[in-house]
A and B are shown apart, each in its own frame.
Chain A
Amino acid sequence: MNSIQLPLNENTVLSLKVGDPVSLSGIMVTGRDAVHKWLVETFIKQTRPANNDDLAIYAAIQPLLVGGVIYHCGPVVSGMETRDYRFVAAGPTTSSREEPYQGDVMKHFKVMGVIGKGGMGPQTLAACQEVPGLYLHAIGGAATIIAQTVTRVLDVYKLDFGVPEAMWVIEVSDFPAVVTMDAHSDSLHTVIENKSKAVLEKLLALP
């Protein structure tokens, strides 16, 4: 098990390879569908104008994202009424939906780690090589166990997107994941997809 303190750095990222289990401690930011679309449209492709609120959030999150980790997660959060937020359940969501955005977000902010489930495609893999960065696979559905690694909720942005879609800034201790896409162009997901495709072809040929 590789114990890793966040933020990441180039040496750490380059030293890790597909199959390596990691245990992460430090600060990470959740972000999923609405956040990725908003980041790309507002700050990267700039197809919609940024208002003052957008710019204030950008200033707050940008330092967290340099060498930082984005976690594809829509948590269950308690304490909504008192703003004494606690993560109750916080497993990963399916990452492939962020494929159209992820590479651009990684390159723009120099995000070095993306956590999710199910893996991602060629654009993200290319960004992992360029930035460099890693795709870290958490165990889908293991929401109670993962929530217990979240020691504090430090902040929340874009709560207007709703609880699951907001950007939650969290501090974690020993967050478990496995590297499934690395900075050396290797992806476990491509390997499994191709292998299973070959088996499928054989099965489809049977009566």
Chain B
Amino acid sequence: MLDLTTPILELIRLAATDLPPDVEAALRQALQHEAPGSAAYGALETILSNVELARQVSTPICQDTGTPLFYVHHPEGWSTRRLREQIEKAVVEATRRSFLRPNSVHSISGKNTGNNLGDHHFPTIHFTEIEDETLTIDLMLKGGGCENVGAQYSLPDAHLAAGRDLPGVRKVVLDAVHKAQGYGCAPGILGVAIGGDRGSSFSASKEVLLQKLTDTNPNAQLASLETRLTSEANQLGIGPMGFGGQTTVLGTKITNLHRLPASFFVSVSYMCWAYRRWRMTWIDGEAYYD
């Protein structure tokens, strides 16, 4: 089998040091909505300068390079065991080159492994076999600050008067954005999953963040809820960094999963403005990144 360690290392470098174009464009647009001279405007200006500089000098946009989340879609015949080995090798090398911060800490001893490996959960790798002939690897780096403000609700929620329907979903998501304040590095991007069990629901709320901000939800009801949630979250006035301002959220992505009759979970994964995700596509022995 081919050794993809080097192209995967480049995928990690790109993800850590270069913000995807759709996210950068959304941040530039957000700047237009803030009053020049305001703290919000200053924060966005600094954010954008930082993005440019990080790209130029090839150092991490944010020091918290997060949990590396890999989503591998492979044709029949690839060994997932070998792909895992190659991904792990690339992660170790990326850490040595300071593209990644050593982020894997033993939960009991408190010891940092120093190389971003740790049992079978770090980095997180999802494998899916596909019919297509093309292998793709998506990588998302999700930092701890925004991960900590993620939330899961079990509907109905009496406190928020949120029932088991889309109006109920809307209420709990707005509550999550309010609770997040500036802790998760606003302006954020919301990944929302409706349904599933607790585990699959949280997983799906992350996976939905692999979409581009410019993608449109094929479900018209969800597309309309996404637009409404982004607009209403921005009315909260939390603003960039929680300084106050017009931009609290850059976008919302919603997905749905089948659920048990007894359960109705709504999971919210909050992604910070440093929304680091890139895809590597392997075609005819060459890697393409977008």
Residues of A within 8 A of B (CB): 19, 21, 34, 73-78, 88-91, 93-94, 96, 117-119, 137, 139-145, 147-148, 161-165, 176, 178, 180, 188-189, 191-193, 195-197, 199-200, 203-204, 207
Contacts A91-B63, A144-B54, A164-B102 known; A189 to B167 CB distance under 8 Å?
no
Contact status A139-B236, CB under 8 Å: no
Q: Which A residues lie within 8 Å of B105 (CB)?
A: 162
Contacts A144-B54, A164-B102, A189-B242 known; A139 to B43 CB distance under 8 Å?
yes
Q: Which residue of B lies closest to A21 (CB)?
A: B42
Contacts A91-B63, A147-B59 known; A162 to B148 CB distance under 8 Å?
no
Among candidates B148, B244, B272, residue contacting A140 with C-beta atoms closer than 8 Å: B272
Contact status B102-A192, CB under 8 Å: no
The distance in angstroms between the C-alpha atoms of A143 and B167, with both chains bound, is 38
Contact status A193-B181, CB under 8 Å: yes
* In the complex, the 6 A-B pairs of residues with the closest C-beta atoms, listed nearest first: A162-B112, A89-B63, A89-B60, A140-B185, A142-B50, A118-B183
Interface residues on chain B, number (Cβ under 8 Å)? 56
Q: Which A residues lie within 8 Å of B243 (CB)?
A: 137, 178, 180, 188, 192
The distance in angstroms between the C-alpha atoms of A161 and B178, with both chains bound, is 33
Distance of B58 from chain A, by nearest CB (Å): 9
Contacts A142-B47, A192-B239, A204-B174 known; A93 to B145 CB distance under 8 Å?
yes
Q: Which residue of A lies closest to B55 (CB)?
A: A144
Residues of B within 8 A of A (CB): 39, 42-43, 46-47, 49-50, 53-54, 57, 59-65, 98, 100-103, 105, 110-112, 114, 143-145, 148, 160-161, 167, 171, 174-175, 178, 181-185, 232, 235-239, 241-244, 272-274
Q: Which B residues lie within 8 Å of A163 (CB)?
A: 101-102, 112, 114
Distance of B84 from chain A, by nearest CB (Å): 24
Contact status B103-A141, CB under 8 Å: no
**How many inter-chain contacts with C-beta < 8 Å in the A-B complex?**
169
Contacts A93-B145, A140-B241 known; A203 to B63 CB distance under 8 Å?
no
Q: Beyond the given A89-B63, A89-B98, could you list 10 further A-B residue pairs with CB under 8 A, ordered by the A residue number?
A: A19-B39, A91-B63, A94-B145, A141-B274, A145-B53, A147-B59, A196-B236, A199-B237, A203-B232, A207-B167
Q: Which A residues lie within 8 Å of B63 (CB)?
A: 73-76, 88-91, 143, 147, 164
Contacts A163-B112, A192-B239 known; A142 to B182 CB distance under 8 Å?
no
The distance in angstroms between the C-alpha atoms of A176 and B46, with both chains bound, is 10
Contact status A192-B237, CB under 8 Å: yes
Secondary structure type dominating chain A contacts: mixed
Q: Which residue of A lies closest to B49 (CB)?
A: A145
Among candidates A34, A139, A143, A192, residue contacting B181 with C-beta atoms closer than 8 Å: A192
Distance of B103 from chain A, by nearest CB (Å): 7
The distance in angstroms between the C-alpha atoms of A91 and B49, with both chains bound, is 14
The distance in angstroms between the C-alpha atoms of A147 and B50, with both chains bound, is 10
Contact status A204-B161, CB under 8 Å: yes
Distance of A54 from chain B, by nearest CB (Å): 16
The distance in angstroms between the C-alpha atoms of A142 and B143, with both chains bound, is 13
Q: Which A residues lie within 8 Å of B242 (CB)?
A: 118-119, 189, 192
Q: Which residue of B lies closest to A148 (CB)?
A: B53
Chain B CB within 10 Å, residue with most, of A90, A162, A197: A162
Contact status A200-B178, CB under 8 Å: yes
Q: Which A residues lie within 8 Å of B182 (CB)?
A: 117-119, 140, 189, 192
Contact status B235-A178, CB under 8 Å: no
Q: Which A residues lie within 8 Å of B50 (CB)?
A: 139, 141-145
Contacts A192-B238, A199-B235 known; A93 to B64 CB distance under 8 Å?
yes
